[in-house]
Amino acid sequence: MRRFLFPTAVLTLVLIVSCASPDRFGPFPPDHTPEPLGDVLFIGDDGNVYTVDPESRETTALTDLSVRYGGTPHSYDQPHWSPDGMKISYVAMHRSERSGRSYYLYVHDLASGAVRTHEVTAAQPPAYTQWAPDSRRLSFLVQSEETGLLEIVVWDTETDHTVRVLNNRPLFWDWSPSGDFLVAHGGTSSLRGGSGTVSIVRFDTAAEPTVNELDVQAGYFQVPAIAPSSDAFAMGVFSQETGTSLAVRSIETGETVIRGPLFSAGAFGWSPDGEWIAYITGLRRPTGEITGNLRIAQRESDVRLVSDRSRSLPVQEDSRAPSLGGVNAFYWSPDGAHLAFYRTDRQQNDAGQLVLEVRLGFIETATGRAFELPPERPTTSLSSVIIPYFDQYARSGSMFTTDGSGFLMNVQTPDNRPGIYLVDVASRTAELIAYGHMPVFRPTGSGEQLSSESL
C-alpha cells in the first residue's frame, strides 16, 4: 500500500521565501492550463494534479512530471480552488542531485490559461496554503530562519509581492469574508498548551498589515472562526470563573460573550447564514485528531440543535437535541441544510490487528436527525492530515457539492488504492469517481464565470 506524506503544523519547517531564479534548478510548471476541467480538484495516486468531472468521470491532468506520490524527482500537494473558482493553486516539489529539493507555488489562471510560479526555497514545503477572499492573495505558513517561529506569509499572485504578517508557534488563521482582515491564533492549540495569543491582522492597500494582539487568555483550540458577516469571530478562551469556554467576540466593539463550556479542546464552524455555530468540545487523541461532543447552537440564544455527551446516534425521529459524541471533524453544506461529520475508531480485524476505521455521517439541521454510513478505511491523508487539522483545511476548500447534495469521501478502495467517492446525501450511497486524495469542489458559480470570461 502506498503511503502519503504531508506538511502539518507539527513538522519542523525551515523555509526562506524568495523569487524564482532562472539560474536555479527548475521550476518546471506546465506551460498552459488544459481544457476542459472538471469540478473536483485532487492529487492523483501517481502524485500529479488532476480534475475530474463527477458525472462523466473524465479526468484532466494539470501536471505530468510525477511518477508516484512522494517520489522523485517531482511531486505535488495541497491543491486548492480560489474562492471565485477562476484559479487553481498547488505546491510543487522538484529534486535534483545538483540542487537538492526545490519548492514552488503554482497558480493556474483559468481565464488566460497562464501558470504563475513562486519559489519557496526550503527544507520542507510551505504548509496550509489558503486563498484570501479576493482570489488574488495566497497565504501560507513558513518558519522564520531568524526566530524559528512559524510565520504567515501572504503572496500577491499578480505582483509577486510577499509580506510576512505574523509569527508564533503553532499558528492558525481564518480570513474574514470581506478580505480586509484575518484573525490568527498562536502559541496554543488543541494539542499543545502554552501562553496563547489571538490577533487581528488588518490589511490596507496603502500600508503594511497592522497587527492588534487582543487582551484575552486563549484556551485550547486551533483556528478562530469568523462569522459570514465579518462582524464577529469564535474562539476558545480561559478564565478562572468560567474555565475553558467557547466565546464570540465582536469585531467593532470588542465585546466577548461566553457561549458555552468547552471543558478542554475545541473546534468551531459557522453555518453559511451565520445564525448557528457548530463546535466540538473534547480532547486531543494521541493519534492527532480531536474527539468529543458535537454541538450546534444559535449565535444569540440558548437554543441547542445538537448537545449531549453520549456517543450514541439519535433515534430516527424529529428531535431538537439529539446526542452525538466521538466526533472528530465536521463540515457545513453550502446551503446550511446539512452538517457532515467524521467519527474514527479502531477495530480488531480477523488477524487480531487494530485497524483504523472512519464513519461519515450527516445531520439534517432542520430536524436534528443524524445518519451514518458504514465504516470505511480512511486514506492516510484523511486520517493523519485532513481530520486532525480539519478546521484549518476547511478554510481552503469545500468537500460538498455547490448545492449541498453530494459530499467527497476519501477512503481506501477494496484493492487498497486511495479512492475519491461522491456520496449522495439523500440516499447515503457512494460512487467511486477517481483515485487520489485531498479532493475539493469548485466554488459556486465558477463555471458560468469561466465561460463568460473565456469568450
Per-residue pLDDT, averaged over 389-397, amounts to 95
Q: Which amino acid is residue 32, in one-letter code?
A: H
Q: Which amino acid is residue 434, in one-letter code?
A: A
Cα-only R_g, the chain? 21
Say if residues 226 and 213 touch (Cβ distance below 8 Å).
no
Dmax over CA atoms of the chain, in Å, equals 66
Q: Which of 6-10, 145-149, 390-394 has the lowest mean pLDDT?
A: 6-10
Closest CA to 131 of 398, 363, 315: 398
Neighbours of 28 (CB within 10 A): 16
Q: Which of 5-9, 189-193, 417-421 has the lowest mean pLDDT?
A: 5-9
Task: Report the SS3 class of residue 374.
Answer: coil
Q: CA 189, 194, 196: angle at the middle one, nearest 5?
A: 65
Residue with more model confidence, 233 or 99: 233
Total-model pTM: 0.87
Query: pLDDT band at 302, cuts 50/70/90?
Result: low
> What 8-state DSSP symbol labels residue 145?
T
Mean pLDDT, the chain, integer: 84
Q: Report pLDDT for 145.
A: 72
Q: Report pLDDT for 306.
A: 63
392: phi then psi, degrees, rounded to nearest 5? -80, -45
Query: pLDDT band at 141, cuts 50/70/90?
Result: very high
Q: Report pLDDT for 103.
A: 87
Exposed e or buried b per residue across 37-59, where buried means at least 16 C-beta atoms within 10 angstroms of its C-beta:
bbbbbbbbbbbbbbbbbbeeeeb
Q: Is the pLDDT of residue 17 over 70?
A: no
Q: Which of 1-5, 88-92, 176-180 has the lowest mean pLDDT?
A: 1-5
> What 8-state DSSP symbol labels residue 307?
-
Rounded CA gap, 28 and 66, in Å? 11
Q: Is the pLDDT of residue 396 over 80?
A: yes
Q: CA 224, 10, 76: angle at the middle one, nearest 5?
A: 95
Q: Is the pLDDT of residue 315 over 70?
A: no
Q: Report pLDDT for 122.
A: 63
Q: Is the pLDDT of residue 379 over 60?
A: yes
Q: Report pLDDT for 323.
A: 55
Q: Report pLDDT for 200.
A: 98
Unique residue bearing C-alpha cell 456520496: 423
Q: How many alpha carbons lie under 13 Å from residue 318 in its C-beta half-sphere?
A: 2
Neighbours of 429 (CB within 10 A): 11
Query: What percent of the chain clears pLDDT 70, i.e. is strictly above it?
Result: 83
Query: pLDDT band at 99, cuts 50/70/90?
Result: low
Of 24-38, 157-171, 193-207, highest mean pLDDT: 157-171
Sign of the C-alpha dihedral computed for residues 387, 390, 394 and 400 taken in this order: positive
Q: Which of 126-140, 158-172, 405-419 has the lowest mean pLDDT?
A: 158-172
Per-residue pLDDT, averaged over 358-372, amounts to 90
Residue with more model confidence, 349 or 358: 358
Rounded CA gap, 441 and 404, in Å? 11
Say if residues 440 and 399 touch (Cβ distance below 8 Å).
yes
